[in-house]
Amino acid sequence: MIDINNFDAIEIGLASSKQIRGWSSGEVTKPETINYRTLKPEKDGLFCERIFGPTKDWECYCGKYKRVRYKGIVCERCGVEVTRSKVRRERMGHIDLAAPVSHIWFFKGVPSRIGYLLDMAPKELEKILYFAASIVTSVDQEARWRDIPKLREEMQAEIDRARSEENERVGELRTSREARLVYLAGGGEKDFIDEDHLWAESLDINVKKLSDDERKKLENEIKKTFATDIDDTQAYYEDARERLKDVWKLFSNADEPAGEPPAEGEDWPLETYVEKAVEKDQFKPKLIIPDETFFRELKHRFGSPFGFGEYFQGGMGAEHVRELLRDQPEYDRDSAPRAVDPDRVPGENVRPQDLPGIVMEHERVDLEDIVKNGKGQKQARSVKRLKVLSAFLNSNNRPEMMVLEAVPVIPPELRPMVQLDGGRFATSDLNDLYRRVINRNNRLKRLLDLGAPEIIVNNEKRMLQEAVDALFDNGRRGRPVTGPGNRPLKSLSDMLKGKQGRFRQNLLGKRVDYSGRSVIVSGPSLRLHQCGLPKLMALELFKPFIMAQLVERKDAQNIKAAKKMVDSMIPQVWDVLEQ
């Protein structure tokens, strides 16, 4: 057991989600604080007695156990331990998050620790964390280069299939257009099938009785409608084919040949694509893809077991940033490459260098080399990155701990709720910020259970990230969360930092009795060597001596009476002060 009164130094480090759960006495799952009728804490809420301890000494929530003789017993009815109420100043809770979130101090701080470790600009990192862009976390390069000839054929078949579907659909539209024009020209003497039949039935006019002008007008409308449909269909399939080609260019590190395709309206075959230099290969970890449709196509083809195989992993949000931050064990970079297994499934038994994460020692060696031999801006940035990396290595903190799976809930006595005159309640801002986190977390859990569309789930994950950001440091990123009167809510950081924070206000310097401060001014009646002291200030500074003198002179019977005399400033007090 650690003796909290006897220590030499304090070391502050990162807490893992496992440690946060270890500190906790229970999970807070409800945003409620107290019951409006009974005024007692709600179960599993932010003031829950089962988690944080009883509100009354030696009394459980339901009242079954009262008095000190039941000390240590956990009530089988309400689950509250019979103990002192002061444990509500020390017991913590936690919130298990439905999706990982990044800690805003390490992302938005200066310097950005996450940005330096990943060698990414904070703006780019922000796009990933707040679901504005996707990132590649790992690529199975061995399987990728091994399977490119086979995948080229499969992608070519997909492009040809898209071209075939386009021709088929455009042909159907043209056939339907001609059939409707013939129907009008023949005065309604034609039988239809499917949608053309429904179209003919939907006409609210008698085709046989149409004048030539009316028939001409209707024919022009049909031609115009079908021309638009054909153009839209061709544009849709053209976009689909271009997207497939762009996906293949990125995956295969190749480009289309220069010049026009061999035939008008045709595409260059993929086998004619020109391979680029290895140094220009962009398809590797930390590649940011802002186009969501493009990334979805890439993921569907090359990042899913339902496509061509899991050749890469990636996505949006803090969970994928955590994969990039994961501390990987060292491996021998100078060893000969292993033999390529033609039967290995992509994504399984991947080489160490293709796994997601950071090998910290390798990264340090590379940065030290750049610092030693590099120059200019690259060298200066490497110095800063090396400083952050060395701090992690020397402190045994793991980088992935900067992404949280659980949020600590501080003891309720440190974020109190107080009843005011008139029955209203005043509460700490932290309770509002915790409530936002719990509400959004519960909503995200519900959406995940329902199997909601990815776009809705991602939006809810972003809102959860913003709620946790506001809890830790409100206003650090963009507009702060405000309360009544548009006042920014005080977050956990605000409780610690600044002149009104815990350290400067309460711990480093405290208000003490018999002290005071005053403005120094010149006194016209004083000589150069004299210093005047206001009578009230002197009375406060010498208060203990004056009280002792009053008791000694028998002007007061005891210290308590002497204190009252000093507070009332009777003449005897000033006499003692003069002496």
- pLDDT tens, position by position, 123-155: 999 999 999 999 999 999 999 999 999 999 999
- 178, two tokens: 């001609």
- In this structure, the strands spanning 417-419 and 134-139 are unpaired
* Rounded Cα–Cα distance for residues 385 and 367 (Å): 8
Contact 54, 82 (CB under 8 A): yes
How is the chain split into domains, by residue range?
138-301, 516-579
Contact 327, 150 (CB under 8 A): no
* Rounded Cα–Cα distance for residues 464 and 97 (Å): 9
Provide mean pLDDT across the span 254-262.
80
φ, ψ of residue 410 in degrees (nearest 5): -70, 160
- pLDDT tens, position by position, 87-136: 999 999 999 999 999 999 999 988 899 999 999 999 999 999 999 999 99
pLDDT band at 423 (very low <50, low <70, confident <90, very high): confident
Whether 82 shows a pLDDT value over 50: the answer reads yes
Neighbour count for residue 467 (Cβ, 10 Å):
21
pTM (2 decimals)? 0.83
Contact 20, 408 (CB under 8 A): yes
Low-confidence winner among 266-270, 378-382, 447-451 (lowest mean pLDDT) = 266-270
For the domain made up of 516-579, give the CATH fold.
Barwin-like endoglucanases (2.40.40)
* Rounded Cα–Cα distance for residues 433 and 441 (Å): 12
- In this structure, the strands spanning 254-255 and 134-139 are unpaired
Neighbour count for residue 419 (Cβ, 10 Å):
11
- Average pLDDT score, the chain: 88
Whether 314 shows a pLDDT value over 90: the answer reads yes
Instruction: Say how many CA atoms lie within 13 Å of 544 toward its Cβ.
Output: 3
* Rounded Cα–Cα distance for residues 73 and 160 (Å): 74
* pLDDT given for residue 11 in this prediction: 85
Provide mean pLDDT across the span 275-301.
92
Helix, strand or coil, per DSSP, at residue 304: strand
* Rounded Cα–Cα distance for residues 302 and 53 (Å): 53
* pLDDT given for residue 208 in this prediction: 61
Whether 364 shows a pLDDT value over 80: the answer reads yes
Whether 200 shows a pLDDT value over 70: the answer reads no
Match 């009230």 to its residue by tokens.
536
- pLDDT tens, position by position, 458-495: 999 999 999 999 999 998 888 899 988 889 999 999 88
* pLDDT given for residue 421 in this prediction: 78
- pLDDT tens, position by position, 4-40: 778 888 888 899 999 999 999 999 999 999 988 888 9
% of the chain exceeding 70 in pLDDT: 94
Match 């004299």 to its residue by tokens.
530
* pLDDT given for residue 204 in this prediction: 47
